Chain A
Amino acid sequence: MNKPRVAVFDFACCEGCQLQIVNLEEQILDLIGAVNVVEWREAMSEQSHEYDIAIIEGSITRPEDEEKLWLIRSRAKILIALGACATLGGINKLKNNFDLNDVKKCVYGKDASKPHLYTELTKAVDEVVEVDYKIHGCPIEAKEFISIIRSLLIGKKPEIPEYPVCVECKAKGNPCLWEYGQLCLGPIIRAGCNARCPSAGHRCYGCRGYINKPNVEAAKDVIEKYGLSVEDLKSKMVLFGSRQDNTL
């Protein structure tokens, strides 16, 4: 069997998801043994125009990035969006809630108008090209990344959870954080992270995106029951939920 050629590209992101891959430690050798990595800026200097699987990290914020992504899409048989910036637009998408000029001034000050700092509204990868698979999370969950890659290597469609974080959180024996005053997004956010944040005592921030049919009515009911407002919930969702449908 020919090893599939894999290329990793990054756009607007912190590269933390790639770091999760580099941090696989001994399993990175298994990964490199199973695939033929032809381009990966974070880990090697070679470049290639021929690959079977393109892994895209980061969101798309500039016209030239869109063009680059179109080119990658045309070359790749399978295109994977890696991490919340690629799958949702991520934290970068926060800026879409404000006037772009204000955002630029706030970040770059008097340099804001310099041409190399030109930026447009943030897009998730699937707003620019067709995405075959999404590996969710900020950062991604290494175990899930491994499982998805192994699935693709044997020609199996990866199983990405459709159920909410609560399933994994409860199975781990965590008491519900709502009972401890935290506005946790677990009930409406896609699982697969093994309830990473709630298990560490932090509410779910929603980095894996909404489940397919989040129950908005239930969410309203619950926030009312806990004496909160829809605005409170919205403010918690804005971090990763700036574009998604099904919002309140």
Chain B
Amino acid sequence: MSVKKLSKESLLNWVDEIISTKKKVYGVQKHKDKTDRFEFAPLDSTADLRLDYDVTVLPPKKYFQPPTETLVAFDLKGGYKAACDTEKFIVIGIHPYDMIAINQMDELFQKDNYDSHYMTRRNNATIIACDVATASKDIFASSMKTATVKKGYDILLTDIGNGYVAEAATKKGQLLLDKAKTEKASDADIKARQAVWENNEKNLNKHPLNCQPSEVSELLEKAYNHPVWEEKAKTCFSCGSCNQVCPTCYCFNVHDDMNWDLKSGDRKRTWDGCLLDGFTKVAPDHEFRAKKSDRFRHRLYRKGKYVPSKIGGQIACVGCGRCIGACLPDIANPVKVYNRLLEDTSAVKK
């Protein structure tokens, strides 16, 4: 596949064309209510696209696993019918850390039992990723080695100041990029892109992790009974905000909605969160993970140990920092906990 250069103007023209030809295009833009924040939303006008954004309130996972989606339609007479969302769509502006989160979800939703609902959406998506141009206040992607990304996207855009370097990674991406007015990327352009990458790999690091992300799993091995879980969870609201905004949280609840005919309806899945009281509750009244501190620990073990063991050792925290901003009592920061454990190895009880 090819590496091209687009001037800023031809990028805008290209996005214009994408909006005019495709049915569904989502892009990063100012948050509709709070204009100092950003969100992924339907892109109606190229002028709204903000590839210089820092971080979006919600990750783009909402396009692959929506907050609520119908899995199965049922009818007391006709039985069950699978629901299927077949609309093709384009997402513009996914940052590398979010792209890596999607790559992880792809693996998890395909593994063991193939989740056709997630995967259909994923396969229907064309992703135009872009390298980070502005660091958000809580980003620590450099620590998690997620500041740059090498796969998953169809096209990767990198702002090199005097234009964008655009690299198509798939046939789908190439076809789309062919519609843009491009020139061949020069050696200087490629070098400039490399400089952006090197800078991001070093400097997207507001909360530096004091070890390699691959070492977290081993660190947690010895930290199960560390006092930090109780200490932090003391002020946990069990509100699940950290789960809801996390690009790698994918746990869900399933519930049935009956229509007014009381004969047909939908079985839906909705986002759930392991921090919520009741997440492990069974009828009539037994809760397996009833303690706040156990739920708090579970999340950080999932990110640092459990999920990594399913996806070849990659840490399942991509360093976007959203949980840090979403947590009112400010206890969600994974780096703070992991660093604390590193410092406290002497206090660690096996």
Contact = CB atoms under 8 A, between A and B. Distances in A.
Interface of A: 27, 30-31, 33-34, 147, 150-151, 153-154, 159, 162-164, 166-167, 170-176, 178-180, 186-188, 201, 211-215, 217-219, 221-222, 225
23 contacts: A150-B260, A159-B255, A162-B277, A163-B276, A166-B244, A167-B271, A167-B273, A170-B58, A170-B245, A171-B270, A172-B67, A175-B37, A175-B57, A176-B325, A176-B328, A186-B239, A213-B238, A213-B277, A215-B235, A215-B238, A218-B328, A222-B328, A225-B329
B241 interface: yes
Nearest to B66: A171
Contact of A222 (B240, B245, B329): B329
B260 A174 contact: no
B262 A153 contact: yes
B237 A164 contact: yes
B271 A171 contact: yes
Contact of A187 (B239, B270, B292): B239
**Chain A interface mostly helix, strand, loop or mixed?**
helix
Given A27-B260, A170-B58, A173-B39, 6 more contacts: A33-B260, A34-B262, A162-B277, A167-B276, A219-B237, A222-B329
B171 interface: no
A175 B322 CA distance: 11
Contact of B239 (A31, A151, A163): A163
A189 to B, nearest CB: 10
B257 interface: yes
B157 interface: no
A59 B249 CA distance: 42
B221 interface: no
A135 to B, nearest CB: 17
Given A162-B278, A163-B278, A170-B240, A217 B235 contact: yes
Contacts of B39: 173
A226 B277 CA distance: 26
Per DSSP, chain B at the interface is: loop
A225 B237 CA distance: 15
Contact of B258 (A31, A33, A151): A151
B235 A154 contact: no
Given A163-B276, A167-B244, A180-B34, A34 B257 contact: no
Nearest to A150: B258
Contact of B31 (A30, A31, A175, A215): A175
A178 B239 contact: no
Nearest to A31: B260
Contacts of B58: 170, 173
B112 interface: no
Contacts of A215: 235-238, 292
Interface string B288-313: 00001000000000000000000000
Interface in B223-270: 234-241, 244-245, 255, 257-260, 262, 270
